[in-house]
Amino acid sequence: MKVSVPATSANLGPGFDCLGLAISMKNQVIIRPSKFHSVSLKGEGANNPALKDNNMFISIFNDFYHNLSYKKRHFRFEFQNEIPLSRGLGSSSAVIVSAIASAYAIEGIKLEKDKLLNLALAYESHPDNITPAVMGGFNVACVQENEVRYIRKEIPKSLKAVVVVPNRAISTQLSRKTLPFKYSKEDTVFNISHSSLLTAAFMAEDWEMLKHASYDQVHQKYRMKQMPELFDVQKTSLKEGALMSTLSGSGSTLFSMSYADDSKNLEKALKLKFPHFKVFVADFDNSGVRVEI
Ligand SMILES: Nc1ncnc2c1ncn2[C@@H]1O[C@H](COP(=O)(O)OP(=O)(O)O)[C@@H](O)[C@H]1O
Ligand SMILES: N[C@@H](CCOP(=O)(O)O)C(=O)O
């Protein structure tokens, strides 16, 4: 049985904890019944011993598997990870979503995507990564009485993600603690209006509006000042043809969206100016989690 989940970029500037989209880089796990428990890891995190000994995927998988099954089976888990850990590309959401989907699939129990999304919410309280991880595409989401309410939109092939990944991990949990406890009315209105405009721009496919709509006052400046070079990455991206350029999730990745025709030039300019960062172009993912029995 094979499960794959895409990377995600959350917030998209002003949409703190409510906007996110899926990017075509995936974490994949193959699970087979086996005489003994065993784990193999390839790609991102392969050299991280914590992922072998105390793997978040396996602990969430076990939570669900033991509830769903009376059998005591052992499994071999083969992980192939493309999503870097703690870089703001939704690695933890991918783990949560794939672990829950796998536990149901291995027991042959059908799990609707909406139910999967609401189960994932118990492990990650903000819905901006888990929603695109499950559904693919661009998503606007909020939580009401422990349920995610969302609207999704496919992202056309004529757009690409241009991603700059610094070699510095930032824990989402710690980064959230650095944000202010309270915001002024001005900052609140600023973000509500920009986030609404950004959502409308995605829905109307008015890509030229993204540049105006993607400003934020509630989280990026606090987070990016811990790595000030990110301001330069953002400025350069916008100057070199990005339609929008925002801190991805809690960072440290900077996410840009561009027309497919401009993406290679943007990638080249960013590679030239920031040779110490990993820079690449990726497609958007419109499928979300995939389960193959
Ligand atoms: N492939 C993986 N396998 C197991 N656990 C993972 C994996 N990727 C991420 N994690 C867990 O998620 C944590 C990172 O979560 P977080 O700080 O929210 O970063 P991100 O922005 O990438 O979601 C890691 O410290 C680890 O506990
Ligand atoms: N809205 C959250 C998003 C965190 O995304 P991640 O990819 O960094 O886990 C936040 O900004 O804290």
Which atom of ligand 1 sits closest to the CA of residue 170? 17
Mutate to test the pocket of ligand 1, among 27, 91, 97, 178 (most ligand atoms within 8 A of CB): 91
- Read out DSSP for 108-145? T----HHHHHHHHTTT-S-HHHHHHHHH-SEEEEEEET
Task: Among the bound ligands, name the one nearest to the CA of residue 83.
Answer: 1
Q: Is the peptide bond before 252 cis (omega within 30 degrees of 0)?
A: yes
- Rounded average pLDDT over 61-71: 92
Alpha-carbon 242 to chain mean position: 20
> What is the CA(157)–ligand 2 centre distance, in A?
25
Domain 159-282's class?
Answer: alpha beta
pLDDT of amino acid 194: 98
Whether the CB of 131 sits within 6 Å of ligand 1: no
Interface confidence, given as ipTM, is 0.98
Who's near 92: CB < 8 A, 6+ residues apart? 56, 124, 129, 172
Grouping H, G, I as helix, E, B as strand and the rest as coil, residue 286 is: coil
Residue 266 is assigned to a ligand binding site: no
pLDDT in tens, 246-278: 999 999 999 999 999 999 999 999 999 999 999
Domain ranges, ordered by start, for the chain: 2-154+286-292, 159-282
CA neighbor of 46 nearest in space, from 6, 88, 76, 83: 83
Confirm or reject: Cβ of 39 under 6 Å from ligand 1: no
Neighbours of 183 (CB within 10 A): 15
**Residue 225: its pLDDT value, please?**
93
Average pLDDT of the chain?
96
pLDDT tens across 73-114, in order?
999 999 999 999 999 999 999 999 999 999 999 999 999 999
Distance of alpha carbon 168 from its chain centroid, rounded? 17
Q: Could you tell me which residues are beta bridge partners of residue 259? A: 159
Report pTM: 0.97
What CATH number is given for 2-154+286-292 in this structure? 3.30.230.10
Q: What is the pLDDT of residues 115-135, one digit of tens each?
A: 999 999 999 999 999 999 999
Cβ neighbours for 45, distance < 8 A, ≥ 6 positions apart: 51, 79, 81, 85
In this structure, what are the phi and psi dihedrals at residue 274, rounded to the nearest 5 degrees? Answer: -125, 65
